[in-house]
Amino acid sequence: MRHFKYNIFLIFITLLLVLSGCLTSKKYYQQGEYALSVQKSVKKIQKNRGLKKEIPVLLKAYPKANQKDEDRIKFLKTQGTPDIWDEVFELYSNLKARQEFIRTILPLKYDNKTVDFPVVDYDIDIIDAKKRASEYYYVHAQKLLQQNDKESARQAYSELSKIKTYFNTYKDDDSLAKIAKYKGMTRVIIDIKNKSNNTLPNDFLNNLVNFNINNLNSKWVEYYINSNNKINFDYCIYLTIKTIVVLPEKIKETHYTQSKEIEDGWEYELDRNGNVKKDTSGNDIKRPKIVTISCNITELHQHKEVHIDASVDYFDIKTNNIVLTKPIEADQFYDYIYAVAFGDLRAVTTETRKIIGLPPQAFPTDMNMIYSAGDIIKKLTIDVLRDNKYFIK
């Protein structure tokens, strides 16, 4: 990180040069973009040491670029506010980076003279700016933490993180950062309310919120499922079971007949007089005998269903108010069909044949149906939490 800011200037300027490659160093100079003019000239001279036309532009642009940064530094120091040192550091870093960059082409020959620029030691000023910027962030973070609100704590954490760009360790910044992280965190507990008229077993209720919450967590929001009395929660998200309706078991009986024409042996073909027809060889003419067969079917359809109405309610503990409600519902159906046949089974379709002879089944219990519907409620709850996780900040 210590060398990172030294390179910001070069990266930024190089990007601008790529995007604005059609502009010359002279044009940049005329527009007052002295730093860009220096970059353009140095790049061209690096490619061609004999490119003399760039040197006059460089001689004018380099001191002006430095002067512009130095004037800004002077203004900031005159201003005297404690938050200036991050920018001062950037400006000194720019000056050093520009000096290192231009020295890649020095010395130069121009008009039979050696062109060189004086070397300035910026390191003392850079180190001083780093210390002062770090001290500002450290002191400001302490003041922010005294305000005891989440936004201030999060800002304090950000200020302390900026110190890491200058120093790996600075006073007790790591301890303060932990305090800021704790104070800035929003904590959410997920719980269940059973407002239905049904007595539900604990394992059913617990299963409704037995899912991975890691994907819900973010930098400043933590979700919990198991309550901890030592944690002060900011929100409680309730999965509220409102109604559970188990409809009566039904067996619907349906009667129908299926028919089909089939070949059943043969018969002689007769003429108009009732005599057997002959073919050209004198043999009797025979044809298939077509008969219609049928089968009477009694189909029995077992049906049972459960309906659950619920909601996911976001409760703000501080204001004691519901701030968001998302209704959800689930239906679970049980259907089983079997049939009894009376007649010629050859008349039965392939699909009907599959259910003929199946034994009747016992209906699932009410609780089994409720558990199955609960799995749907659980999935819908996860969807609501995921879709609204940015509601809580």
Do residue 70 and residue 144 come from a single domain? Answer: no
> Does 192 lie in the same domain as 176?
no
Same domain? 192 vs 219: yes
What is the predicted pLDDT for the residue at 335?
Answer: 97
Instruction: Verify that 214 and 323 share a domain, yes or no.
Output: yes
Q: Which residue has the tokens 């990266």?
A: 11
**Residue 8 banded pLDDT, cuts 50, 70, 90:** low
Q: Nearest to residue 367, comparing CAs of 303, 306, 318?
A: 306
Quote the mean pLDDT of the chain. 90
Q: Is residue 262 part of a domain?
A: no
Res. 290: pLDDT tops 50: yes
CA distances from 344 to 77, 292, 300 (A): 106, 10, 19
Burial of 366 (0-12, 13-18, 19+ CB in 10 A): middle
Residues 213 and 155 in one domain: no
pLDDT at 141 over 50: yes
H/E stretch holding 47 reads: helix 34-47
DSSP strands (E only) in 132-201: 186-194
> Residue 180 domain-assigned?
yes
Pairing between β-strand 286-316 and β-strand 235-246 as defined by DSSP bridges: antiparallel
Residue type, 113: K
Tens digit of pLDDT for each residue in 256-276? Answer: 999 998 887 877 777 787 777
**CA–CA separation, 81 and 15 (whole Å):** 32
Q: Does residue 227 contact residue 209 with C-beta atoms inside 8 Å?
A: no
Tell me, yes or no, whether 280 lies in a domain. Answer: no
Determine contact, residues 163/170, Cβ cutoff 8 Å: yes
Task: Tell me, yes or no, whether 43 and 171 share the same domain.
Answer: no
Q: What is the pLDDT of residues 345-357, one digit of tens each?
A: 999 999 999 999 9
**Residue 24: how many CB atoms within 10 A of its CB?**
16
C-alpha closest to that of 143 among 232, 82, 86, 233: 82
Q: How does residue 2 score in pLDDT terms, banded at 50, 70 and 90? A: very low
Tell me the pLDDT tens digit for each residue of 230-266: 889 999 999 999 999 999 999 999 999 999 988 878 7
Identify whether residues 143 and 210 lie together within a single domain: no
273, part of any domain: no
- CA 94 to chain CA mean position, Å: 38
| Domain total of the chain | 3
Alpha-carbon distance of 175 to 183, in angstroms, equals 13
In-domain check, residue 356: yes
Spatial CA neighbour of 339 closest among 329, 354, 325, 323: 354
Q: Please name every residue paired with 142 in a beta bridge, in sequence order, or none if there are none.
A: none
d(CA 179, CA 174): 9
Q: Judge whether residue 227 has pLDDT over 70.
A: yes
pLDDT at residue 11, as a whole number: 60
Structural domain includes residue 290: no
116 and 138 inside one domain: no
Cβ-contact 212, 164 below 8 angstroms: no
Better-predicted residue by pLDDT, 18 or 205: 205
Question: For position 362, which CATH number holds?
Answer: 3.30.160
Pair type for strands 186-194 and 235-246: parallel
pLDDT of residue 64: 95
Asked whether residue 79 is domain-assigned, the answer is yes
The answer to whether residue 317 sits within a structural domain is yes
Domain boundary among 71, 95, 120: 120
Same domain, 65 and 154: no
Clarify whether residues 81 and 196 are in a common domain. no
What's the pLDDT at 270?
Answer: 79
Domain closes at, from 70, 94, 120? 120
Nearest Cα to 38, choosing from 127, 121, 103? 103
* Domain enclosing residue 368, as ranges: 186-256+299-393
Question: Does residue 344 share a domain with residue 229?
Answer: yes
Residue 17: pLDDT over 60? no
Residue 219, phi then psi, degrees to nearest 5: -60, -40
Of 93, 120, 147, the position where a domain reaches its end is 120
Q: What does the pLDDT average to over 41-61? A: 88
Angstrom distance (rounded) from CA 39 to CA 98: 8
Find out whether 41 and 64 touch, Cβ atoms under 8 Å: no
Is 208 in the same domain as 344? yes
